[in-house]
Structure 1
Amino acid sequence: MNRSEPTPEQVAAAAQWLSVLHSGEADESQRQACAVWRDADPGHALALSRLEILWGRFDGLPASHSRKILERAFAAQRKPALRRAGTALVLLVAATVAWQGVRQAPVWLADQRTGVGERRSMMLEDHSQLQLNSDSAVDIEFDGQRRLIDLRRGELWVEVAKDPKRPFVVRTEQGTVTALGTRFLVRREDGQTRVTVLESAIAAQPSKKSSPPARVAAGQQALLYADHVDGLTTIGIADPASWTRGVLKVDDRPLLEVLDELARYRRGVLHYDRQALAGLRVSGSFPLDNSDAALAALQTSLPIRLQRFTDWLVVIKSDK
């Protein structure tokens, strides 16, 4: 994702700002605060601009069946807070649909891909085992010289079958990961690739060849950038491959990190105030195939409160 492209959290925040501005009750201080938020980040401005366009399209719709339903829904919401929530919900659902379409476009033609909340295991022609995490996509190119997996989005786990004549390589925008052994994870993130080695070792080569490859051994994790490899750490007691078994296992990790991961398994928007929840930490195992149950467990053990508007919008707030 381009760094200026709005994140789902920025889209959700932009929708909330528009719900206030279109409520008919916004005062000058709120309009100024929205302007400050908009100017603080290019992603904020782009999200707000795109949602304004969507909102304009709603205003221009004829009195179709769907629009009549929306009008009746808003008419039933007498309280200003409920009207604002309804407006935000419409914007968020529309934005989610729009962004999902944009994000899916580059990977429609991928050799293998998974949808949101889906995992897929497969055996490759060389008998290597490959598993894709939620919302992931790969192209597979095997020939007489090499075995190449082009990770176009998301995360993969691989157990490599031995073939001394053909190196096994995973490629991302930041560079390549060449297997020197068997089991490892590769995950695309914003501007970087996270590599985790579970057995033996890999060689991480930045896309700018001026930087030498870095060796990452079993039990280690590193970040691959286009011009260098950084962040070499030990895994310790963490279990980064737990998702392959449908579980998110964490030990004293920030709640925000857990919510970010659960959001990858949910359609729609999981919205939370990062600043308000920044101090909370979590330990435990959470089911990835039932993120509603995972969120309920977090609410039981932490001072947070869930507000569920629909399956497309869940808001998490601090309950301190």
Structure 2
Amino acid sequence: MGRVQDDNGSRPHEAMAGRDAFTEEALDWFAKLQHAAGERHVAEQFDAWRESDARRAEAFRRVEALWNSSELRAAVKASAAPSRTTASVTRSAPRRGASARWSIRLAVAAAVVILAVAVAKFPDFMLSMRADYRTAAGESQKISLPDGSLMTLNTASSVSLDFADGRRAVTLLSGEAFFQVVHDPQHPFRVTGHLGDAEVKGTAFSVRTDETEDKVLVREGLVDAGPLESRQTRALLAAGHGAIITKASMSPMPEGDTERELAWLDGRISFVDRPFGRVLDDLRRYYGGRIIVTNDRLKRTAVSGDYRLDNPELVIRSLAEATGAKFTRLPGGIIFLR
């Protein structure tokens, strides 16, 4: 059950191969602009977003390039066209205006679905070439490592391993993993994310990585962690503590967050007074489809809850109802909240 609190407070496929947080934002804006075409306040918000960072403008340019490709246009046209079977059972033709509006809506829905698939396809292929182990959205996997340590790979996650010549090294390519490390003082166990790393002799801890930050959470023992680009900025984290690591800095996790962040090990998601937008960021990893929020106020609404993760769409529906959001599910599993 949740609780809410209102808070006011090249070629196209090559260009998309390195999907990051800015590309995700750009794809959300593409969908929002199609959905709210002609609305001036949306256009103004988009201009402010695009002009706030050159990387955002470049990400949107890449999305537009993919959208303008002939392959995608053909796929959208094919998806929006009514089948012969559907046409044959229609008893009365709608008025031309209604038909045209429906065709536009259908084309927009098809465009969003196909563009989301296109954006997702190539980065996943690149990960598959590098990863020794991967999980799909909503899946987790327990893996025995060559040294006897145990790794639990969370949803939509991937790793590569290097255990040759006495090394114990894991590179977290995406997502999140929990490690129960066999004690071996002579051979440190190292996990490297996008921005930071963690090194232990023997303990239980997790690492989560994305394009903007890494998180290290300690359940047992001690973990030496810090940014990759600032070796002098390191900290020894004790059980029950965690750190958020960026490119050249690190900061402690709020008190009490560690066990809530590790609730996924028991198949749950737990949060207290978190912005709805941040909760949705977590749920995206388990849902697998796209979740698009067209109301920025919703993103700021504080929510609390403890839910099972075996049906993430049900969690999203429940939170949407609690926050007063209108829930719309498009073909292909795309969810609009407004």
Give the TM-score normalised by the residue count of structure 2. Answer: 0.78
| d(CA) in 1 for partners of 2:218, 2:263 | 14
Counterpart residue number, 1:42: 54
Q: Which has the higher strand share?
A: 1
Counterpart residue number, 1:211: 232
| d(CA) in 2 for partners of 1:243, 1:15 | 30
Counterpart residue number, 1:308: 329
Bigger mean CA deviation after superposition, 121-130 or 77-86:
77-86
Counterpart residue number, 1:52: 64
Partner of 1:304, secondary structure, is coil
Counterpart residue number, 1:273: 294
| d(CA) in 2 for partners of 1:41, 1:10 | 12
CA drift of 1:113 comes to 0.9
Counterpart residue number, 2:180: 159
Partner of 1:156, secondary structure, is strand
The letter of the residue matching 2:282 is E
Q: Is the 8 A contact 2:276 2:299 kept in 1?
A: yes
CA drift of 1:302 comes to 2.9
| d(CA) in 2 for partners of 1:2, 1:231 | 29
Q: Is the 8 A contact 2:138 2:286 kept in 1?
A: yes
Q: Is the 8 A contact 1:180 1:203 kept in 2?
A: no
Q: Is the counterpart of residue 250 in structure 1 residue 266 in structure 2?
A: no
CA drift of 1:314 comes to 0.7
Q: Is the 8 A contact 2:19 2:119 kept in 1?
A: no
Q: Is the counterpart of residue 101 in structure 1 residue 118 in structure 2?
A: no
1:213-251: CA deviation from partner (whole Å, max 9, x where unpaired) = 311111111122343322354335842111122211222
Counterpart residue number, 2:12: none
Q: Is the counterpart of residue 261 in structure 1 residue 282 in structure 2?
A: yes
| d(CA) in 2 for partners of 1:101, 1:3 | 10
Partner of 2:82, secondary structure, is helix
Q: Is the 8 A contact 1:223 1:230 kept in 2?
A: yes
Structure 2 unpaired stretches of 5+: 1-16, 84-92
1:89 pairs, out of 99, 105, 109, with 109
Structure 1 unpaired stretches of 5+: none
CA drift of 1:306 comes to 0.7
Q: Is the counterpart of residue 17 in structure 1 residue 56 in structure 2?
A: no
The letter of the residue matching 1:101 is K
1:278/1:225 CA distance change after superposition, 3 Å: closer
CA drift of 1:307 comes to 1.0
CA drift of 1:32 comes to 7.2
| d(CA) in 2 for partners of 1:41, 1:83 | 35
| d(CA) in 1 for partners of 2:123, 2:133 | 16
1:50/1:83 CA distance change after superposition, 3 Å: farther
2:98 pairs, out of 78, 92, 97, with 78
Larger RCO, structure (CA 8 Å, separation 6 or more): 2
1:121 pairs, out of 120, 136, 142, with 142
Q: Percent identity?
A: 25
Q: Which has the higher helix share?
A: 2
The letter of the residue matching 1:103 is P
CA drift of 1:204 comes to 0.7
Q: Is the counterpart of residue 169 in structure 1 residue 179 in structure 2?
A: no
Tell me the C-alpha RMSD between the 2 structures: 3.3
1:287/1:6 CA distance change after superposition, 3 Å: same
CA drift of 1:135 comes to 1.3
CA drift of 1:191 comes to 2.7
CA drift of 1:211 comes to 1.4
Give the TM-score normalised by the residue count of structure 1. Answer: 0.82
Q: Is the 8 A contact 1:142 1:148 kept in 2?
A: yes
Counterpart residue number, 1:295: 316
| d(CA) in 2 for partners of 1:207, 1:82 | 52
Counterpart residue number, 2:223: 202
The total of aligned residue pairs comes to 310
| d(CA) in 2 for partners of 1:169, 1:315 | 40
| d(CA) in 1 for partners of 2:150, 2:135 | 16
CA drift of 1:12 comes to 2.2
Counterpart residue number, 1:67: 77
Q: Is the 8 A contact 1:155 1:185 kept in 2?
A: yes
